[in-house]
Structure 1
Amino acid sequence: MTKTTKTIASTALASALLSGTALASEIQTRAVTFDSNGAAMAGTLYLPVDHDGSALPTVVVTGAWTSVQQQMPATYAREMAARGYAAFTFDFRGWGQSGDLPQNVRFEENPAAKIEDIEAAIAFIADLPEVDAANINGLGICASAGYMIDAVSGNPLINRVGLVAPWLQNEALVNAVYGGEDGVNGLIELGRTAEAEGGIIIPAAGPEGAEGVLMPIGGYYYEADRGAIPEYDNQWNQTSWEGWLTYHPADHGAALDKPLAVVHSESAAIPQGVRDFLSGFAGDATLQWLEDVSQFDFYDNPQDVTRAADTMAAHFSS
């Protein structure tokens, strides 16, 4: 493919396409179940409030690590439905209501399993009457951006892919984030010990400075009016470390064969990963870089979510 990169400013979006849409709160939802590699999966289909039963262009939305579908995936699914799309979210295997798995694999951030789950979700919704099987798109947020890239690359059911605040890591970025080679090797060894013990589960989120917590930083996952909702597991299995730290989606640009849109900020998490990914991507890319937007702001700050959703809706309709 010939590479075309277009960078757009936050004020340069065409609003005519999006005018007159329903508010994101005024939508229909339908709970569904499907199978992924033998695990029972819980999902939700989001539809415009005035949906007449016809097949709609559809977006599969996935969220950040440790998340459940009612968090940022639901936020963006509602935004897509408000713009005239069907949208689909689900709990990954071993999280939320999906996959009643044993402790050694529950709450495990397993890239290979999560990629399989996205592939299963895409195949499932393609047969739903509300979904236009010829117009399915993928939207990955934070950590699931890499999973989404790998799930849709070469997948004939997917037209386009969008990434919001993507966490795209490679070996260099993993070392930079997790304490260098020694820090990474120490965490991998911790993960192997946890696996030998049948799983070691700790809180995923906690207040700033808390000990024994994956994310001791407060913010979105720790605030009840944001991501600390009753459905959130707030769990992390230490068996996750080796699979997570050796997963390098920033190196997978050459595999993606879909038009791409990315919304990110230099103030959010590892923006260098986007640049590294694009250095190997030969396709069409639309980039929107927002100023002074944190990673968590992309999850639920209304202004930032709206700008990101506008970009994605325009991209998916191209």
Structure 2
Amino acid sequence: ADNEFTPIVNAFNTLVGQVDQFTRRLSDSNNQLQAEQQRVEELNTTLESKVEERTRELEQKNAEANESLRKLKLTQQQLVNLEKHAALGEVVAGLAHEINTPLGISVTAVSALEDQLKEIAQQFRNGQLNKATFDDFIQFSEEGVQITADNLRRAADLVARFKQVAVDQSSEQRRDFELGDYLQSIIVSLRPNYKYRPIDVSVECPQRIFISGYPGAVAQIFTNLMMNSLTHAFDDNSSERGQIHIEAQQRDQQVEITFSDNGRGMDEDTLKQLFDPFFTTKRNQGGSGIGAYIIQDLVSHQLHGSLEVSSAPGQGTRFVIRFPLSRQSAD
């Protein structure tokens, strides 16, 4: 009946309907939440599986990268050793070429002396030897012996210099040595590479500089500098004579060596890449691109020194190398 309870009943019915609607919505939301939770759990399971798979892939890639890096370093070290041996080969080949002249002169002098001796002996046996002929023979013999002795001493000095440089370059032994004389030995060992070219090489060391260190590294550095300069800096068709100058000075407990040439020089791009491994402007002519890299590596790590280079097209190239007189002062 339509009485005073009617508004309450209607309000209650409305509330019941709203509660029922809310309950259904809550149930739907709960079902959706459970479905989402299940989907999240499935995604988590899939994600964990993918993470494990990616982790395994990354570990494999990392192992492959480490192995590739190891092989690259090994290959690089092998190439560096090959380059060092190639420089040593230049020294050994130069020895045979350089001592050929004094030995040839000695052989000629001894052969002439041998012929004269046979002639004098024959005259003596025949009773035909007179004082004037014997005096001429003595004078000829003295000259021949002097020529032979001088050239044999020169050959012996060359062999000693070549031997010391070769032994130093093939080992990493530390010893004391005098820098100026050692630089001269290096230049002498490389003379066959430029003696028939219009190139003058000079070494200036105004004071005796004694170094306690690694002469093999010094020999390798200046062998590479010389060969790089002879290969890249000069044109044999040029009318201007090439100049290579090496100057050494002692500054407190350090030595400073400047290596410079008046060759064609380098542009800015080439200068920036000069010490990059395997960079070369002579790729088609057999260049390996690790000569300058070896120079920098030896200066930095074995001599504990520093290296500066400056160059410009047509203005030549200048290297300045500084390192301690003794490795102990750098350690």
What is the TM-score of this pair, normalised by structure 2?
A: 0.23
Higher Rg: 2
User: Greater share of helix residues, 1 or 2?
Assistant: 2
What is the TM-score of this pair, normalised by structure 1?
A: 0.23
Higher relative contact order (CA 8 A, sep 6+): 1
